[in-house]
């Protein structure tokens, strides 16, 4: 008879296809004649559909890492493979959402969402309609960015990239500028969209609670060495209760390690 091994803590990304491989990544900057080593020997792999949070202190190199993954800047060592192919520049398979909205100020909400879309007019219109409703902005479709709140702008930013169905969504502290209540709303919205579309997400934050709430796996960056100090799978059931024992225990562990 076949014996079954009891799996105590399965990795949340076990059995998934690999989408992203980062191998021996390094980045040095030269400024004012000084050499600054920001990333060094960064190695990790991301599974298809995984929600990864990259957690680290200010200045440890989170944005630099995301910029390399987006193809905006080249690394000085190592390589990034997306579905087995080296990343050498920006591509439609990756989209970035920044902390501050990067909307076109002269375009309306719906025009911003439609901006990157190509295809038959009616199909684009239907898609925009769908995404307006997904992020709850149908009634604000004709507003300009300056006429809506910060939270609403981030919802436009989210709809604008999700409508392009990127394989990889890169987010750089996207909700950091929002007040606590708006931030919570955005976190829940992102989680529901992620459940629906099963994107792969790399989400940079320095907010420990945010990482514990969102991630399948947390990568803890080390500001001194510029590498990943620790990888922490988060096995808490969703939706996650912020005052549950498991949540608080992980929160405390991360606070101590950060």
- If the CB atoms of residues 41 and 63 are measured against Mg ion, the closer one turns out to be 63
- If the CB atoms of residues 58 and 181 are measured against Mg ion, the closer one turns out to be 58
Task: Write the binding mask 56 to 75 for Mg ion: x where contact by CB under 5 A, - elsewhere.
Answer: ------xx------------
Stretch 30-59 residues interacting with ligand ATP (CB under 6 A): 31, 36, 38, 56, 58-59
Inter-residue long-range contacts of 133-141, CB under 8 Å, 24+ positions, other chains counted: 134/159, 134/162, 134/193, 134/196, 135/159, 135/189, 136/189, 137/109, 140/109, 141/108, 141/109, 141/110
- If the CB atoms of residues 62 and 94 are measured against ligand ATP, the closer one turns out to be 62
- If the CB atoms of residues 62 and 155 are measured against Mg ion, the closer one turns out to be 62
- If the CB atoms of residues 33 and 84 are measured against ligand ATP, the closer one turns out to be 33
Q: Which of 25, 62, 156, 215 binds ligand ATP (CB under 6 A)?
A: 62
How far apart, in Å, do the first and last CA atoms of the chain sit? 47
**How many binding residues for ligand ATP (CB under 6 A)?**
13
| CA distances to 28, 30, 37 from 34, in Å | 10, 6, 10
| Minimum CB–partner distance for residue 61 and ligand ATP (Å) | 4
Alpha carbon 18 to chain centroid distance? Answer: 17
Residue of 140, 135, 184, 142 whose CA lies nearest to 163: 135
Instruction: Measure the CA–CA gap between 189 and 185, rounded to whole angstroms.
Output: 6
| Minimum CB–partner distance for residue 88 and Mg ion (Å) | 23
Q: Which of 29, 44, 115, 143 binds ligand ATP (CB under 6 A)?
A: 29
56 touches, from ligand ATP, Mg ion, none (C-beta below 5 to 8 Å by class):
ligand ATP
| Minimum CB–partner distance for residue 42 and ligand ATP (Å) | 12
| Minimum CB–partner distance for residue 253 and Mg ion (Å) | 23
Stretch 182-241 residues interacting with ligand ATP (CB under 6 A): 206
- If the CB atoms of residues 63 and 76 are measured against ligand ATP, the closer one turns out to be 63
| Minimum CB–partner distance for residue 62 and Mg ion (Å) | 5
Helix axes 150-162, 180-197, angle to 10 degrees: 10
Helix axes 121-134, 150-162, angle to 10 degrees: 140
| Minimum CB–partner distance for residue 61 and Mg ion (Å) | 8
**How many binding residues for Mg ion (CB under 5 A)?**
2
The residues that touch ligand ATP, with contacts defined as CB under 6 A, are: 29, 31, 36, 38, 56, 58-64, 206
The residues that touch Mg ion, with contacts defined as CB under 5 A, are: 62-63
């Amino acid at each position: 008879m076949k014996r079954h091994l009891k799996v105590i803590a399965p990795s949340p990304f076990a059995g998934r296809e690999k989408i992203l491989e980062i191998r021996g990544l390094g980045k040095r900057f030269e400024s004012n004649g000084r050499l600054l080593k920001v990333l060094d020997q960064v190695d990790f792999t991301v599974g298809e559909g995984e929600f990864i949070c990259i957690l680290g202190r200010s200045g440890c190199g989170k944005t630099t890492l995301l910029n390399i993954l987006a193809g905006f800047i080249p690394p000085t060592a190592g390589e990034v493979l997306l579905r087995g192919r080296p990343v050498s520049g920006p591509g439609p398979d990756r989209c970035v959402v920044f902390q501050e909205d990067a909307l076109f100020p002269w375009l309306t909400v719906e025009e911003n969402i439609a901006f990157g879309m190509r295809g038959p007019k009616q199909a684009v219109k239907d898609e925009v309609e769908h995404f307006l409703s997904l992020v709850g902005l149908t009634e604000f479709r004709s507003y300009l960015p300056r006429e809506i709140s910060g939270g609403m702008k981030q919802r436009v930013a989210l709809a604008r990239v999700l409508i392009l169905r990127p394989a990889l969504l890169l987010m750089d502290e996207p909700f950091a500028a929002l007040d606590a209540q708006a931030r919570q709303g955005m976190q829940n919205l992102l989680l529901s969209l992620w459940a629906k579309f099963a994107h792969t997400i790399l989400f940079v934050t320095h907010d420990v609670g945010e990482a514990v709430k969102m991630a399948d796996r947390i990568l803890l960056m080390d500001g001194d060495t510029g590498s990943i100090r620790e990888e922490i799978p988060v096995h808490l059931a969703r939706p996650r209760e912020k005052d549950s024992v498991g949540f608080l225990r992980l929160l405390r562990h991360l606070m101590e390690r950060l």
